[in-house]
Amino acid sequence: MTTAAIAKRLVALCRKAQWETAHKELYALNAQSIEPYATPNFPKVTKGRAKIIKKGHTFGAMVEKMHSLKVSAPVVADNSFACTMAMDVTMKGQGRMKMAELCVYQVNKGKIVSEQFFF
């Protein structure tokens, strides 16, 4: 799969909140996920597709209600792409909040090897 094809597919799956499908289909086994900083729920760096999938489940369990989810079209370079993601969610025990982030992905040999989020 080309970087552009991976980007298009990831955006389509994210727009449907099909995180696990995206991880299983598009991510390398040794992929890493990088947050802006560590939190009590998530480390700064998560290594390995299985741990990234678990991280997605943890986030999903924290969401009481997803009011809206918007993902921009990707901007694609040779081996990387980026998109924005904006969510309006009610988090369990935290109330309703809006989150927006820039999501940057690196691709190698037809798989996503790194994702990094910027708030």
| 32-57 confidence digits (pLDDT tens) | 999 999 999 999 999 999 999 999 99
Q: What is the Cα–Cα distance from 114 to 73, expressed in whole angstroms?
A: 19
Mean pLDDT over 2-31 rounds to: 97
Tens digits of per-residue pLDDT, 63-87?
A: 999 999 999 999 999 999 999 999 9
State the pLDDT confidence band at 4, using cuts at 50, 70 and 90. Answer: very high
Q: How high is the pLDDT of residue 30?
A: 98
pLDDT at 18: 95
Q: How far is CA 23 from CA 7, 26, 72, 95, 97, in A?
A: 13, 6, 19, 28, 25
Element (H, E) at 3: helix 3-15
- Top CATH class, 3-118: alpha beta
Predicted pLDDT of residue 60: 93
Report domain extents, the chain. 3-118
pLDDT-derived band at 21 (thresholds 50, 70, 90) equals very high
Backbone angles phi, psi at 108, to 5 degrees: -145, 130
Q: Mean pLDDT of all residues in the chain?
A: 97
Beta bridge partners of 117: 103
112, exposed or middle or buried, with CB in 10 Å at 0-12, 13-18, 19+? buried
pLDDT band at 24 (very low <50, low <70, confident <90, very high): very high
Please give the pLDDT value at position 88: 98
Determine the pLDDT at residue 101.
97
List of E strands, the chain: 27-34, 45-47, 63-71, 75-76, 80-91, 95-108, 111-118
